[in-house]
């Protein structure tokens, strides 16, 4: 009687909708009329699906429908959902909420796990707040504000950074006509992407997961090279240059995956600083490492970003996800880059840590850095970005002032409605 929809889907992309649904059902529950059952259930709950379509051909929102329908065919009395809206457009979120309300009215209990506090307030009848693995509060979320819920989560008062007044300088990061074919058969090709980020600017790029964010990040940071003139840092073409060379020119970056990409799990915190900071901070000379600089830098990150750790000699994997994220973000910001590219900056961190990271990004921008933030969190981007664009199916919309875009318009762009696929300032 328990159905579960996880944050990361458990679907086989080479199989059809019906085949994936069958894999999640008990042997006795799989009938010859499974296709008909899928159609009937999916339409009854406002989640239409074609049982014969391959998972590979579905959008992320449609893939989540497969997970939900698979649960519904088991007639669950309890449905558990973990961060269900992290990969959905605003319009898809509303469809999901209507489905959950219908299920609730039919007597199904729903356990909804999310860090998006406004969603909790909108959807839930009751909220339980966890902190440090313990229950610290039980409340009616409709009687709380997002701020009061966040303060219950962190156990202290919370202040959000104020939007900073933009004083834009020269173009620092310029991308012109970037088109790259993904080597991954399930990846996303980048299609004629053009934009620029000026000194003092935070440009936010939103999009549903799997629409080219990772591929764009890899090209910008030098993990994958492209035409030399497709990417420029301070007017210097760097498209063919590797990551180390781009760091020398002033670019730092924070990847989405913390362990394995942002940090080596088995290495200590101070050793992990060497991976990205040795070039800009002069930790290496004549083939020898200056360990004193590495230790001082690691201690500075821990103090500045309030990273909870017994010491910098401890392995990266010993930190919580939120503390490791703060350490990695701090490692890049404290190198005072002229260009910072960051993917999912506050993924998996609490509200207080997210506010600290946002404040640090704004301070860096005030100092003249050009910052590109790629995130699935619309609230985050709306709060810190000066200008805003949307990536969908490997194409980028024209960037516009953040305040000029409605959530509905952003949702349509995230869903693939490219009324204006533009090029902002990339001449």
Portions of the chain given CATH number 3.40.50.300: 2-114, 171-414
Q: Which two tokens stand for residue 312?
A: 């910098």
For the question of whether the overall pTM of this predicted structure is more than 0.75, the answer is yes
CATH class of 171-414: alpha beta
Sign of CA dihedral 393, 398, 403, 404: negative
How many Cα atoms are found within 13 Å in the side-chain-facing hemisphere of 96? Answer: 27
* Separation of alpha carbons 74 and 71, rounded Å: 5
Instruction: Classify domain 2-114 at the CATH superfamily level.
Output: P-loop containing nucleotide triphosphate hydrolases (3.40.50.300)
Q: Which two tokens stand for residue 64?
A: 């989540």
Cβ-contact 380, 354 below 8 angstroms:
yes
* Separation of alpha carbons 254 and 311, rounded Å: 22
* Separation of alpha carbons 367 and 111, rounded Å: 44
pLDDT tens digit at each of 427 positions of the chain: 898 888 778 899 899 999 999 988 877 666 778 999 999 998 888 888 899 999 988 877 788 889 999 998 888 899 999 888 876 778 888 888 999 999 999 999 999 998 888 889 999 999 999 887 889 999 999 999 988 988 888 787 766 666 666 789 999 999 999 999 988 776 889 999 999 999 999 999 998 877 899 899 999 999 999 999 999 999 999 999 999 999 999 999 999 888 888 999 999 999 999 999 998 998 988 889 999 999 999 999 999 998 999 999 999 999 987 889 999 999 999 999 999 999 999 877 777 788 889 999 999 999 999 999 999 888 889 889 999 999 998 999 999 998 888 878 888 888 776 544 344 444 3
């Amino acid at each position: 009687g328990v159905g579960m929809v996880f944050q990361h889907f458990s679907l086989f992309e080479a199989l059809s909708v019906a085949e994936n649904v069958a894999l999640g059902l008990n042997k006795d529950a799989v009938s010859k009329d499974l296709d008909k059952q899928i159609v009937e259930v999916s339409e009854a709950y406002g989640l239409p699906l074609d049982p014969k379509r391959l998972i590979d051909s579905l959008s992320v929102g449609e893939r989540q429908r497969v997970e939900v329908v698979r649960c519904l065919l088991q007639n669950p009395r309890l449905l558990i959902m973990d961060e269900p809206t992290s990969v959905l457009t605003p319009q898809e979120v509303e469809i999901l909420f209507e489905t959950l309300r219908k299920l609730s009215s039919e007597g199904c209990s729903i356990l909804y796990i999310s860090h998006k506090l406004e969603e909790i307030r909108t959807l839930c009848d009751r909220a339980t707040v966890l902190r440090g693995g313990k229950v610290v509060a039980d409340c009616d979320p409709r009687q709380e504000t997002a701020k009061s819920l966040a303060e219950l989560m962190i156990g202290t008062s919370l202040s959000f950074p104020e939007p900073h007044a933009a004083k834009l300088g020269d173009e620092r990061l310029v991308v012109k006509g970037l088109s790259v074919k993904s080597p991954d058969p399930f990846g996303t090709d980048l299609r004629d992407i053009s934009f620029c980020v000026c000194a003092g600017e935070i440009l936010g790029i939103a999009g549903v997961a799997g629409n080219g964010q990772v591929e764009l990040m890899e090209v910008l940071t030098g993990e994958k090279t492209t035409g030399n003139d497709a990417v420029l840092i301070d007017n210097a073409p760097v498209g063919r240059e590797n990551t180390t060379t781009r760091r020398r020119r002033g670019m730092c970056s924070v990847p989405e995956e913390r362990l394995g990409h942002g940090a080596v799990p088995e290495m200590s915190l101070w050793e992990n600083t060497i991976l990205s900071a040795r070039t800009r901070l002069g930790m290496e000379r004549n083939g020898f490492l200056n360990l004193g600089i590495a230790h001082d830098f690691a201690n500075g990150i821990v103090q500045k970003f309030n990273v909870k750790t017994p010491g910098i000699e401890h392995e990266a994997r010993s930190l919580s996800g939120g503390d490791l994220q703060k350490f990695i973000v701090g490692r890049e910001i404290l190198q005072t880059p002229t260009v910072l590219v960051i993917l999912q900056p506050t993924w998996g961190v609490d509200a207080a840590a997210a506010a600290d990271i946002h404040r640090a990004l704004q301070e860096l921008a005030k100092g003249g850095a050009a910052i590109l933030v790629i995130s699935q969190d619309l609230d985050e981007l709306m709060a810190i970005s000066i200008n805003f664009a949307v990536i969908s199916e490997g194409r980028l919309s024209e960037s516009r002032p953040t305040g000029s875009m409605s959530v509905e318009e952003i949702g349509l762009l995230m869903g693939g409605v490219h009324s204006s696929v533009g090029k902002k300032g990339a001449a």
